[in-house]
Structure 1
Amino acid sequence: MKDTAVAMVVIEHERHTTVLLTGEMDRVSAPAVRARLLDFAARPLVLDVAGVSFFDAEGMRAVSHCARRCEDNGAALAVVGARPFAQRMFRVLGLDDRVPLCSSMDEALWCALPRTDDEIAAWLA
């Protein structure tokens, strides 16, 4: 049987957490990934899935559970780097209504982090 482990790198920033995933998010690996992601859902979270080569329903469910936990905690979740198949799955399942699919880390941070007045003023300038 092929190993379907997912590697996870967690980067704690001052105002948010970034989680980089690589591997396949399937029925074998997704439950463990979901459990770990829920640990980070108390603050804004950026999930970088550029290294995820495959999502199945369990992989999508893991992201959905994390999004729900983030919402419950008043935090935001943004996804960056989703491949076309994963993007289609997000859209078909309606998960993209709750979790923004971002094309860059800057866009993901804009979606996940509440902006300060100074940041908004600098952006408008």
Structure 2
Amino acid sequence: MRDTAVDMVVVERERHVTVLLSGEMDRVSAPAVRYRLLDLAGAAGRPLVLDLAGVSFFDAEGLRVVSAAARRCDELGIGLATVGVRPFAAKMFRLLRLHERIPLCSSTEEALWCLLPITDADLADWLRD
């Protein structure tokens, strides 16, 4: 039997939390990931950025996990965005219209623009570039 574990690394930031996932998000691994993400959303108290670049396989259960985490974040008023979504998974997000409520971003910076109010310092840094 193949290993279907998903590794999760949580990086706490001042204004957001980045969650790096790697492995295969399938019906076997999804329940544990769902539990951990929902718990993290409740404890974080700030927006979540899910980095899915390390997820090599993503099935319907994986989509349900991300959707459930987004619903939980919405309930808490903290928001969730994704980065690093591979082409097949991105296509599934779009077919199911999940991208309308879960931003599919190309970088963490883009995700933060979607999730956080822009500060004067952010705007000044952007104008300098």
TM-score scaled by length of structure 1 = 0.93
Cα distance in structure 2, aligned partners of 1:103 and 1:13? 19
Deviating above 6 A after TM superposition, structure 1's stretches of 4 or more consecutive aligned residues are: none
> Offset of 1:86 from its aligned partner?
0.6
Determine the structure 1 residue equivalent to 2:16: 16
> Offset of 1:120 from its aligned partner?
3.0
Identity, % of aligned positions:
70
> Offset of 1:121 from its aligned partner?
4.8
Q: Secondary structure at the match of 1:68?
A: helix
1:35-54 aligned within 5 A: 35-41=35-41, 42-54=45-57
Determine the structure 2 residue equivalent to 1:32: 32
Contact kept in structure 2, 1:5 and 1:24, CA below 8 Å:
yes
AA of the residue aligned to 2:31: P
Q: Which moved more, 1:83-92 or 1:110-119?
A: 110-119
AA of the residue aligned to 1:88: K
TM-score scaled by length of structure 2 = 0.90
Contact kept in structure 2, 1:43 and 1:73, CA below 8 Å:
no
> Offset of 1:124 from its aligned partner?
4.6
Encode CA deviations 1:35-70: one digit per residue, 9 max, x unaligned.
111122242000000000111111000000000011
Cα distance in structure 1, aligned partners of 2:101 and 2:109? 19
Change (3 A) 1:37 1:107: same
Q: Secondary structure at the match of 1:110?
A: helix
Note if 1:86 corresponds to 2:84.
Answer: no
AA of the residue aligned to 2:109: D
Corresponding residue pairs, total: 125
Give the CA RMSD over aligned residues.
Answer: 1.3
> Offset of 1:110 from its aligned partner?
1.3
> Offset of 1:15 from its aligned partner?
0.9
Q: Which moved more, 1:37-46 or 1:77-86?
A: 37-46
